[in-house]
Amino acid sequence: MTQTNEIGDIQVAEVLDTSGLLCPLPVYKAALVLKKLEPGDVLELTCTDPGSLEDIPALARQRRDVLLAVDDRGGVQKFWIEKGEGV
Amino acid sequence: MTDLARSLANISQAEAGPKRKRLALVASKGTLDAAYPPLILATTAASLGWEVGIYFTFYGLDILHKDRYQKLKMASLANPAGPIRLPNLIGAIPGATAAATKVMKRWMKRSRMPDVTEFIEMAQGLDVTFFACATTMGVMGVEEGDLIAGCDIAGAARFLDYAADADVQLFV
């Protein structure tokens, strides 16, 4: 899968939609997917919980993944997270 | 330790990279609303890649009790922030606790939040350590067989030994 966004084309390995779910579910579900991916793989994550705007960057920071891009469209946020080597 | 063993230990430590963060929680309350915060924080921290342990003590031990953890209740008395805001006089009448519990469960379900059982399964799936307070078990007559599988029965010193190496310690 290739997704185009403001930073260009991103090869996406997995897509996860957590629309309608509240904390801790977006973080919990994203972490389960990231664990299964290989380092360098990208997860495209959709969230609607307003807390996710801060929670998902915190998840990436703590897990030592790389948050490639964020797209915040009034109530719906998309994140592209590249799995790091860390966890 | 010999010099060789020590240098080997240093090498393996260096290879392991930065130390994993650790969260140590105390869950001391056994009402439905008080069961959620430690379980939410534990599953979140474990999702962040942290090592997590929860020390269930006093009424908090009910969250590990096989016959009780699915029946935790919301207090209708002395809780001005509860789901139904009742004066204490009304909150004390029979049925008020059941009604408050029902409302709380409905709220959680409507918000698509996992229930306590699901949170416990999520936490166990992420290798969260459940410490069961040994003193509470003695005081309240709770046997190991009364607890859900996989609990680590621990005294205060054992938990503090674990918490001393934690980056975050919280009491709920």
Domains of chain A: 2-82 (3.30.110.40)
* Chain B partners within 8 Å of A62 (Cβ): 21, 48-50
Identity of the residue numbered A2:
T
In this predicted model, which residue has the larger pLDDT, B12 or A41?
A: A41
Positive or negative, the CA dihedral B35, B37, B43, B45 is negative
Strand-pairing partners, residue B24, are B53, B169
Tokens 């959620």, residue located: B36
pLDDT mean over A15-29 = 98
Identity of the residue numbered B49:
G
pLDDT at B2 over 90: no
- Calculate the average pLDDT of chain B: 91
* Chain B partners within 8 Å of A65 (Cβ): none
DSSP state of B57: -
pLDDT band for position A41 (cuts 50, 70, 90): very high
Break chain B into its structural domains and give their ranges: 21-72+114-171
**Residue B37 to residue B1: CA distance in whole angstroms:** 43
Q: Give A47's contacts (C-beta < 8 A, 6+ positions apart).
A: A18, A19, A21, A26, A56, A76, A77, A78, A79
Q: Between chains, do A27 and B49 touch, taking CB under 8 Å as contact?
A: no
Q: Between chains, do A62 and B40 touch, taking CB under 8 Å as contact?
A: no
- List, for residues B116-165, the tens digit of each pLDDT value: 999 999 999 999 999 999 999 999 999 999 999 999 999 999 999 999 99
**Residue A65 to residue B19: CA distance in whole angstroms:** 16
Architecture of domain B21-72+114-171: 3-Layer(aba) Sandwich (3.40)
Integer CA distances (angstroms), A35 to A43, A50, A83, B124, in order: 11, 24, 8, 16
- List, for residues B38-50, the tens digit of each pLDDT value: 999 999 999 999 9
- Whether residue A24 is preceded by a cis peptide bond, meaning omega within 30 degrees of 0, is yes
Q: Between chains, do A63 and B49 touch, taking CB under 8 Å as contact?
A: yes
- Using an 8 Å CB-CB cutoff, list residues of chain A that contact chain B: 20-25, 27-28, 30-32, 58-59, 62-64, 86-87
Does residue B36 belong to the interface with chain A, where contact is any CB pair within 8 Å? no
Does residue B48 belong to the interface with chain A, where contact is any CB pair within 8 Å? yes
Identity of the residue numbered B82:
G
